[in-house]
Structure 1
Amino acid sequence: MSVFRSILALLVLGLASPVLAEPIGFFQLSDTRYNPSVPAPEDRFGFGVGERPVRHDQMVSYLTEIAQGSDRITVETIGYTHEHRPILFFVVTSPENQSRIEDIRAAHLAQLDPAAAAGNGPAIVWLNYGVHGAEPSGMDAAIPMLYHLAAAEGAEIEQTLRDSVVLITAVFNPDGHNRRASLVEMFGSDIAVTDPAHAQHNWPSARTNHYWFDLNRQWLLQTQPESQAWLTQWHHWKPQVSADFHEMGTDATFYFHPGEPRRLNPLIPGRARELTRNIAQHHIGFLDQEARLYTTEEGFDNFYVGKGSTYPQVNGSLGILFEIGSARGGLIESNHGLVSHGDNVRTQFRTGLTTIAGALAQRREIAAYQRQFFADAAASAGRDRTRGYVFSAEGDPARLNLFLDLLDRHDVTVHALARDLRADGRTYRAGEAYIVPMQQRQYVMIRALFDRVTSFEENVFYDVSGWTLPLAYDLEYSALTGNLSAQSLGEVARPGNIAFSAPPVSSYGYVLRWSDYYAPRALYRLLDADIRVRIATETAMIMTHEGLIEFGPGTAFIPLVGQDVSAADIHDLAGRIAAEDGVPVYSATTGSTPGDTPDLGDRNGFRPVERPEILLLFDDGISLYDAGEVWHQLDHRMQIPVTLRRKSELAGLDWSRYTHLVVVGGNNTGFAGADLERIRDWIRDDGGVLIASRQAAQMAQRAFFDLDEDADDAAAETGEPVRRDYAAMPVDDAEHVIGGAIFAGDLDTSHPIGFGYSDRFIAVHRNTEFVLDRPEDDPFAVVVEYAADPLLSGYASQRRRDEIAGTPAVIAQRLGRGSVVMFADNPNFRATFRGPEKMFLNAVFFGGLINRPRGDY
């Protein structure tokens, strides 16, 4: 019998600590009485926590029952997931505090104003449970936590509840957790299988939400309903301490903050580390008492502000990350013995209690720190040379509204621009632009959103290094260095629904511009209704019901002649597009255009497009995150159906059904020989359009354009061998990485992939190190070229900057009857880079409009 099987036998016989599941007594504190009228989990589930996965619906039912039966707890549903599962939010405190909970919250927020008197209210502690569905102990810990807070009796718990308000979200990622529970149950066995290779221990897709987004990167970006729900509550309370519970690799032990001291975002005060370290002493006391292995202050950093443990720290709170070695399916072998899910849940639960205890032990110090954070922010804003930011989005009110919504979610105050303003050689017009003043409570958050950072103390990053969100949203924006005039600040702006009135009935046809964010959704609605649409390939002056208007390339013209759909139905759909998609629709009054612009019947100036039928590949080495971002962009935002198919399952596919194939990056974007030949034939002979990003773009160049795989390999350097200390490896290895940075590109707005843009400047996200080769026989193929000095924000070594400068960022080439569009990086990155997203959608709709050069170049 193996050592692991011997240990397992002893544990099952009860001769050692329990490993699978115990009644609630396993989680109860030995020196605490519990109210027997509060139902235990096993009374409702039929099994103990840790014995088998707790489904989300079971958890919702049980925790709601506890809350409704307790005068200490209130519960509300704060949002729903893509799969329409509820997200529950619990407020836990003493019955006396519950009776005046709104007064407590209002007083807490009021004392954050440096001009107001300091408060002396309860500590406000937030517990994040279950942001990653594949990390179940972080979610299941909410069960014993809420049971304990409801059922524990005695002077200690009553004092804790009087002195604190505990805010619990259960759970952050219901869809991912439900996927995990189903997969674990699918491969469950009567006898626990501890072999890490067992299928029950492997379900990476459960980490993410429905569209495969990592929700722990959503605190900043706010594109998913789960994060939008919880961040609303976070700012509703602005807690003083936020704890975030996770799992890591099975062979790891237990980690807690403070994080890596050398990688601290400069916007986070050093005092935050001191207070967090003091709280950590409470974790250490518990863990030492039980002789558990743990580590702190290493490996995990606090640089990227979009994570659950770092975002609070640029908003005046203390953020604490917990990471425990995962038990995966429930009980698994590790290099330090057997790891059980039930035991992990207990550890996460108990360190949740030590977080509350640590917060209460320095309650006044933490309250003073939070208050000082905002006082220092006000003082810094007063000294800052930048007094505010002005921004606009020419020709795209929907994209502008999306950015307003983002700022609103981060509690940033925005004003409408009341009068025209000149900055950076650009005129920002009243009614079309907005101002963010720096002098406001969220000064630090504004810095996190708007700053361009390109120099770093250390170039090792747990996540991306550059997040300048006005660049990501492709906004025109400028820093304002003079005093802001009160006359420039209009009313406080709020996001709203963008809707336009229906155009008047036309006797000729309708026009919609391509610069609007949801124009692709509108175009697909037209094509899906079997309405013929013609796309402008150059600027056209069109006479409309609002007079003569200049429309750019990409403009959609819907003629009334030659349609199989009635004019009345076309007008009805045009009205719904204006109202529902926020895309203005114009009535054309004549087909004649003035000057040199093409008439609406010009066969080259206005070309027909077909409805796209899209095949998106995933799995088998393709990045699930990248594929999910494409799926979300097309399906959720643009309402375009997408066929999802595993890359390894292409045999027998009816390729004639599809017009577009999307292949994203990953560690294996290559195809088997037969599949590669079929894709080449589909592009060359059937006119298919391949859209490839990151490593898949490099693969496409090699596979379809006869490039030598080793052509760009650097020659071996000569000279003396280099010897470096092993301890320097992490930093030296990272010297020439690109830490998720933002680069500047020059966009050919006359190219079909560049239709709908107002200027040639484009900001693109980049975290790959290779470069695409410039096509030698097609000088028109480079849609975007990196600037000579390309880095806008984030980290990239000078070597990488030099290598990337002037190289293609986006290439679009004909291949036979079809086209291949190649993105050096991910245009849909985390559903946030609104500029490159439009290029991706242009590839979907206009990939067939790309012409092949005829000259000898």
Structure 2
Amino acid sequence: MKKIISLIFVFIFFNSNAQEKIELSYYLPQNISYNVDIPTPESVIGFQVGEWHVSHDKLVHYMKTLAKASDRISIEERGKTYEGRPILLLTITSVKNHKNIESIRAEHLKLSDASNTAVNVSDMPVVVYQGFSIHGNEPSGANAGLLAAYYLAAAEGKEIDELLEKTIILFDSSFNPDGLNRFASWVNMHKNQTITSDNNDREYNEVWPGGRTNHYWFDMNRDWLVTQLPESQARIKTFHKWKPNILTDHHEMGTNSSFFFQPGIPSRTHPLTPKLNQKLTAKIGEYHAKAFDKIGSLYFTEERYDDFYYGKGSTFPDINGGIGILFEQASSRGHAQDSDNGLLTFPFTIRNQFTAALSTLEAGINMREELLKYQYDFYQNAKHEVSKDKNKAIVFGDKNDQGKTYQFAKMLERQHIKFHKLSSNITTGGTQFTANDSYIIPADQPNYRMIKAMFETRTSFQDSLFYDVSAWTLPMAFDLNFGYTNSLSSAGEGITSLDFPEGKVSANSNYAYVFEWDEYYTPKALYTILKNNLRAKVATKPFSIGSKKYDYGSILISVANQNKTSEEIYTLLKEIAKETGVDFEGVTTGITEGIDLGSSYFRPVEQPKIAVLVGDGITSSDAGEIWHLLDTRYQIPVTKLDTKNLGRADLSKYTTIIISNTFGSSLNEATDDLKTFVKNGGVLIGYKNALRWLDNQKFINLDFKKSKVKAKDISFAQRADFRGAQVIGGAIFEAEIDLTHPIGYGYNKNKIALFRNTTLFINPDSTNYKNPLQYTKKALLSGYISKENLNTIKETIPFKTSSMGRGEVIVFTDNTNFRAFWYGTNKLLMNAIFFGKMM
């Protein structure tokens, strides 16, 4: 009865007073006193929490002000976002603990070192990492962070003293500064003085791309394992510095929902996660339930969400001896919005998040020894698993591509995974790994389970539904050779730091230079050459100079008739080699074995001028991944061309236009303009659902193949699960690649691993050589796919190209740039950009 009365009060209060001033007492526990010398959020940011959406600069200002005012708080700036915003961390604990913080940290880390067979946890503080709003347009978390930080700084009494004495709180007030600021600007600029709760109001309907993502439109909640973004790298460094026992991740969901806390759906927990992890998660959930019952807020658990993909913030701790907790609050997406549960106000969503933050700390202190012991046992048990594992190490590398090998090793380094150079060549699984180009990862180390999670290939699952991807086998993502060995005899010196593998120029030549297309950063090298107005050509047949063999796709830069002197060319190439890791061979003659350097089989390469379509009808994350790749990896300028401006844009400026995944009909009015662009010599590249539009508009003729799925013995209640089981949420498939085709330039194996999260299948061309990329008969490498779709995908094609006038239309069914960590297929896009007209 009390719960119902409380809910009615909340509804009536905000329905009639949505514009009235909110008091701090609405949020804070009232049975304790607060230090008047600690500034409230309102006194610093200029408004009461929940009255407006806090911008990131005001959030930072408050956190810095609080740290100056309270000896319970220390603050550090761990880096910058892409837009230059600080990535802050507050460490909150007792004054006594602050004075001994390093010794406390060192003692705590002994729990994750299995060589320590006896650690006393009775007096050890529990470590809780509290993080807010990794999705910028889910801001109730970050705004609740204002309150939580104030409470921890200002609350007085025995209870708070005990909490601070027994807890180290790592406080991340904004997981996504750029996205949070973008969203705050949107809703604040559209707020009415008399608040409109109509869902159709502009305030509640962001323009493209929305505030969810970071600067390059990445969903950062998928980056914890692969750590490709600066925000992730900063917090992963903190995570491993402390190894927290609990990590919380405050999100929002649909307006008509209530509040979710974990555990999620039991059958969708990753098998490498100990069962005790989920039991402890459920026990922590009892504290949340008690707190929400007290304030009358509805909630649910063990539905919708799961703990499978370790790249999410709420799941990453589970493979590192901690407990990850996901919170999902129904979103007002502004200041007050009508919902199925009545008027949903921003202050109400903030109060729920604040309540969950405090109930987490209550659980942490009450379960302190249990959580600390669990962490200790996690690593002891992992040590025991190592002793039973016949595979004592994993070897990885690529002798032809030091760039992506280096990036893979850097990723391991960020995750505190130890590895060594090979001391001698080793062959495993039929693949030879050479000492100069490969590394070996011993299984016997603290992060054994995370290594297993990174390298595993899994095709059998308890459940057929996944909240995120079902596979992420990282060496496959990087297109790296890897294998297992039962011996460490080839392990050489341990790697303590990694240096980027700089390239070199063999000699100063007055004739020509050549370089292979194998290295990851060759597109950056070639673009820099072309940007400096040097002519370059690509070899469409192999050749040899001395003992050195040059494959399809090798690049030639002649010295004669260039706009630079031979000395200037040499100096430029040395700079490029240093920055890209590409080796240049200075040659003195055009005579070779195979095609000579003056052969017409060397085709001129044009400097690309690239536009990526953005805006309404385009999937922002897919477009952002392309923008990020070109801008940050290869330093190639890219024009972000809004779909609403297509009809007014001069498309003749561009050599290449890229359409990532599309939806709706936003491109229809530009059909004729895009066709003219292609017919006049342009290259149009389409991804995923853009293929259907390109086929419908007669840019290319595609023969789509459908799965034959029949619902048998499926009840009405089972219909959603039945349909969900036919979704490919993210799995890895094997394709054959024709190394003589321009799409295959730079690859050295005739098989490639492709990531796929679509059910878009295309039948192959009857002419074999027109299928340079084709899925194999047994295509599944890792992840979940239904039997029907597995039967459908075999021998279909993920790539097709067709001429139109003087130009080319090139299409991919799969994302070659997925989440910035799918290094192994980035070159497919770059080949389409540089060599598209040769296809």
1:736 is paired with a residue of what secondary structure?
coil
Q: Deviations over 1:118-169 (max 9, x none)?
A: 1321000010112110000111111111111111111111111000100011
Determine the structure 2 residue equivalent to 1:600.
597
Determine the structure 2 residue equivalent to 1:823.
812
- How far apart, CA to CA, are the structure 1 residues paired with 2:394 and 2:820? 23
- How far apart, CA to CA, are the structure 2 residues paired with 1:618 and 1:180? 18
Q: Is the 8 A contact 2:702 2:762 kept in 1?
A: no
Normalising by structure 1, report the TM-score.
0.93
1:304 and 2:309 matched: yes
Question: Which of 274, 283, 286 in structure 1 is aligned with 2:279?
Answer: 274
- How far apart, CA to CA, are the structure 1 residues paired with 2:708 and 2:465? 27
Amino acid at match of 2:330: G
Amino acid at match of 2:642: R
- How far apart, CA to CA, are the structure 2 residues paired with 1:112 and 1:97? 21
1:529 and 2:532 matched: yes
- How far apart, CA to CA, are the structure 2 residues paired with 1:722 and 1:764? 32
Amino acid at match of 2:381: D
2:694 is paired with a residue of what secondary structure?
helix
- How far apart, CA to CA, are the structure 2 residues paired with 1:360 and 1:154? 16
- How far apart, CA to CA, are the structure 2 residues paired with 1:280 and 1:723? 36
Determine the structure 2 residue equivalent to 1:66.
66
Give 1:64-103 correspondences, 5 Å limit: 64-103=64-103
- How far apart, CA to CA, are the structure 2 residues paired with 1:152 and 1:539? 73
Counterparts in 2 of 1:272 and 1:484: CA distance versus 1, 3 Å: same
Runs of 4+ with >6 A deviation: 6-10, 714-717
2:718 is paired with a residue of what secondary structure?
helix
Residue 29 of structure 1 deviates from its aligned partner by 1.5
Question: Which of 127, 131, 144 in structure 2 is aligned with 1:128?
Answer: 131
Question: Which of 155, 179, 182 in structure 1 is aligned with 2:182?
Answer: 179
Question: Which of 466, 473, 494 in structure 2 is aligned with 1:468?
Answer: 473
Determine the structure 2 residue equivalent to 1:516.
519
- How far apart, CA to CA, are the structure 2 residues paired with 1:281 and 1:730? 29
Determine the structure 2 residue equivalent to 1:590.
589
Amino acid at match of 2:581: G
1:319 and 2:320 matched: no
Determine the structure 2 residue equivalent to 1:430.
435
Q: Is the 8 A contact 1:19 1:341 kept in 2?
A: no
1:239 is paired with a residue of what secondary structure?
coil
What is the percentage of aligned positions where both structures have the same residue?
37
Give 1:345-364 correspondences, 5 Å limit: 345-364=350-369
Determine the structure 1 residue equivalent to 2:541.
538
Q: Is the 8 A contact 2:37 2:69 kept in 1?
A: no
Determine the structure 2 residue equivalent to 1:797.
786
1:296 is paired with a residue of what secondary structure?
coil
Counterparts in 2 of 1:144 and 1:21: CA distance versus 1, 3 Å: farther
Determine the structure 2 residue equivalent to 1:557.
556
Amino acid at match of 1:750: T
Counterparts in 2 of 1:450 and 1:619: CA distance versus 1, 3 Å: same
Question: Which of 743, 747, 751 in structure 1 is aligned with 2:737?
Answer: 747
2:500 is paired with a residue of what secondary structure?
coil
Residue 580 of structure 1 deviates from its aligned partner by 1.6
Q: Is the 8 A contact 1:387 1:483 kept in 2?
A: yes
Question: Which of 771, 780, 794 in structure 1 is aligned with 2:769?
Answer: 780
- How far apart, CA to CA, are the structure 2 residues paired with 1:820 and 1:21? 58
Range that drifts further, 184-193 or 565-574: 565-574
1:141 is paired with a residue of what secondary structure?
helix
- How far apart, CA to CA, are the structure 1 residues paired with 2:234 and 2:708? 53
- How far apart, CA to CA, are the structure 2 residues paired with 1:729 and 1:182? 41
- How far apart, CA to CA, are the structure 2 residues paired with 1:170 and 1:566? 55
Q: Deviations over 1:332-370 (max 9, x none)?
A: 111111111122112211211110110111111111111
- How far apart, CA to CA, are the structure 2 residues paired with 1:65 and 1:171? 16
2:648 is paired with a residue of what secondary structure?
coil
- How far apart, CA to CA, are the structure 2 residues paired with 1:155 and 1:337? 39
Question: Which of 640, 647, 656 in structure 1 is aligned with 2:643?
Answer: 647
1:648 is paired with a residue of what secondary structure?
helix
Q: Is the 8 A contact 1:20 1:340 kept in 2?
A: no
Counterparts in 2 of 1:494 and 1:788: CA distance versus 1, 3 Å: farther
Residue 736 of structure 1 deviates from its aligned partner by 2.6
1:769 is paired with a residue of what secondary structure?
coil
- How far apart, CA to CA, are the structure 2 residues paired with 1:394 and 1:489? 17
Range that drifts further, 698-707 or 275-284: 698-707
Q: Is the 8 A contact 1:402 1:495 kept in 2?
A: no
Give 1:289-688 correspondences, 5 Å limit: 289-480=294-485, 482-485=486-489, 487-492=490-495, 494-542=497-545, 548-594=547-593, 597-604=594-601, 606-668=602-664, 671-672=667-668, 674-684=669-679, 686-688=680-682
Q: Is the 8 A contact 2:553 2:745 kept in 1?
A: yes
Determine the structure 1 residue equivalent to 2:715.
725
Residue 708 of structure 1 deviates from its aligned partner by 7.7
Question: Which of 742, 750, 760 in structure 1 is aligned with 2:750?
Answer: 760
Range that drifts further, 807-816 or 315-324: 807-816
Amino acid at match of 2:690: A
Q: Is the 8 A contact 1:11 1:19 kept in 2?
A: no
Determine the structure 2 residue equivalent to 1:812.
801
Range that drifts further, 801-810 or 108-117: 108-117
Residue 193 of structure 1 deviates from its aligned partner by 1.0
Amino acid at match of 2:573: A
Q: Deviations over 1:493-529 (max 9, x none)?
A: 5432222345432111222221111110111111111
1:223 is paired with a residue of what secondary structure?
coil
2:210 is paired with a residue of what secondary structure?
helix
Residue 649 of structure 1 deviates from its aligned partner by 2.6
Q: Deviations over 1:169-221 (max 9, x none)?
A: 12111110111011112212211111111111122620000111000001112
Q: Deviations over 1:446-468 (max 9, x none)?
A: 11100000011111010110110
Determine the structure 1 residue equivalent to 2:4.
none
- How far apart, CA to CA, are the structure 1 residues paired with 2:748 and 2:313? 36
Q: Deviations over 1:567-623 (max 9, x none)?
A: 3322221111111222222212222213xx11111122x111111111111232221
- How far apart, CA to CA, are the structure 1 residues paired with 2:373 and 2:739? 53
Amino acid at match of 1:483: S
Counterparts in 2 of 1:335 and 1:716: CA distance versus 1, 3 Å: closer
Amino acid at match of 2:747: Y
- How far apart, CA to CA, are the structure 1 residues paired with 2:513 and 2:700? 44
Determine the structure 2 residue equivalent to 1:239.
244
Determine the structure 1 residue equivalent to 2:686.
692
- How far apart, CA to CA, are the structure 1 residues paired with 2:709 and 2:465? 26
- How far apart, CA to CA, are the structure 2 residues paired with 1:693 and 1:452? 26
- How far apart, CA to CA, are the structure 1 residues paired with 2:828 and 2:167? 50
How many residue pairs align between the two structures?
Answer: 827
Residue 9 of structure 1 deviates from its aligned partner by 11
1:327 is paired with a residue of what secondary structure?
coil
Determine the structure 2 residue equivalent to 1:50.
50
Q: Is the 8 A contact 1:771 1:804 kept in 2?
A: yes
Residue 64 of structure 1 deviates from its aligned partner by 0.7
Counterparts in 2 of 1:49 and 1:715: CA distance versus 1, 3 Å: closer
Counterparts in 2 of 1:105 and 1:162: CA distance versus 1, 3 Å: same
Structure 1's unaligned 5+ residue stretches are 1-5, 851-857
Residue 722 of structure 1 deviates from its aligned partner by 4.5
Q: Deviations over 1:612-661 (max 9, x none)?
A: 11111123222111111111111111111111122233112212111111
Q: Is the 8 A contact 2:707 2:792 kept in 1?
A: no
Counterparts in 2 of 1:352 and 1:10: CA distance versus 1, 3 Å: closer
Q: Is the 8 A contact 1:735 1:797 kept in 2?
A: yes
